[in-house]
A and B are shown apart, each in its own frame.
Chain A
Amino acid sequence: MKWFLVILCMVSTTVGDVFRSLGMRSHGEIHDFRPGALGGALAAIARNWMVIVSTCAMAVSFFSFMKLVSIAPMTFAVPMSAATFIPETLLARYLLRERVDWRRWTGIALIVVGVVFIAQ
């Protein structure tokens, strides 16, 4: 059960983040943060299928993580939440075609090791 939740949480978080990035990129940069303009942007975003997929995946991620922390210690669950950084960075590089230079790779590696330490 524990490992099933870990895999479910990792896959849903990764799918959620990647689709959120794809959906928001297709919408374009949000410039205007006044309530009226923001409402218009939200109406457009809510109809974007990639954002809808992302939101559903994020809900799965949220509840599977809640379930995981209820059956496993935080010292296990928290580093597992940071393990998604690795597949997400690979997808950002090869699927989203982002420029992931050595500073990003090194920074992400430091963060993943740091999260393992901080959860102890």
Chain B
Amino acid sequence: MPAIKQDIHRLRAKTQFWAVVSVLSNVAGNSALTYGMQSLGGIGNTPAALIGALFHPWVAAGVALLIVWTFAHMALLSWADLSYVMPVTAIGYVVTAFAGKFFLGEVVSPTRWAGIVLITAGVTLVGRTPPASEALPLKSEPHR
């Protein structure tokens, strides 16, 4: 296998792994944070109340997961294009919809199913491009 192809293959696998970590930590983090803040009820906007909320287990879990998301997202952007990472991680919208269906028993309407199909198609299409512009050889044809 030519070195450049091997490099693209390695980069794609690494990118997919960290994209999965990024999406799952983002969806789980936002859900935990929302659940925690809702179960706390109206706490006001004072700094003391917001810091106090951090000690609520669900809020703490949400914040921890969002820190994981930040690092995974930063790691991805250290080698992959923004115009690749941003659309590919949009699969999070689909994960959120399925999480709502399976955990909260939300109904997925035909319109929402259409949205799921469109987002999945878009993510698949972008996922077929090389993750990093620099990974492409400059003076040869695209590898696909």
**A interface residues, Cβ below 8 angstroms from B:** 17-18, 20-21, 24-25, 27-30, 33, 42, 45, 51, 55, 58, 78, 82, 85, 88-89, 91-93, 96-101, 103-104, 106-111, 113-120
Q: Which of A20, A45, A78, A98 contacts B83 (CB 8 A)?
A: A98
A58 to B123, CA, bound (A): 23
Q: Is the CB of B83 within 8 A of A89?
A: yes
Q: Is the CB of A104 within 8 A of B87?
A: yes
Shortest B80–chain A CB gap in Å is: 9
Residues of B within 8 A of A88 (CB): 82-83, 86
Q: Which residue of B lies closest to A26 (CB)?
A: B78
Shortest B104–chain A CB gap in Å is: 13
How many residue pairs, one in A and one in B, have C-beta atoms under 8 Å apart? Answer: 132
Q: Is the CB of A89 within 8 A of B86?
A: yes
Shortest B62–chain A CB gap in Å is: 12
**B interface residues, Cβ below 8 angstroms from A:** 70-71, 73-75, 77-79, 81-84, 86-87, 90, 93-94, 97, 109, 111-112, 114-126, 128-129, 133, 136, 142
Shortest B44–chain A CB gap in Å is: 13
Q: A24-B74, A111-B118, A114-B117 are in contact. Are A103 and B81 (CB under 8 A)?
A: no
A-B residue pairs in contact (CB < 8 Å), sample of 7: A30-B75, A30-B79, A88-B86, A104-B87, A109-B122, A117-B112, A118-B112
Q: Which of A30, A101, A111 contacts B129 (CB 8 A)?
A: A101
A43 to B67, CA, bound (A): 15
Shortest B46–chain A CB gap in Å is: 15
Residues of A within 8 A of B77 (CB): 20-21, 24-25
Closest 7 CB pairs of A and B: A117-B115, A118-B115, A114-B118, A110-B122, A114-B119, A107-B126, A107-B125
Q: Is the CB of B81 within 8 A of A119?
A: no
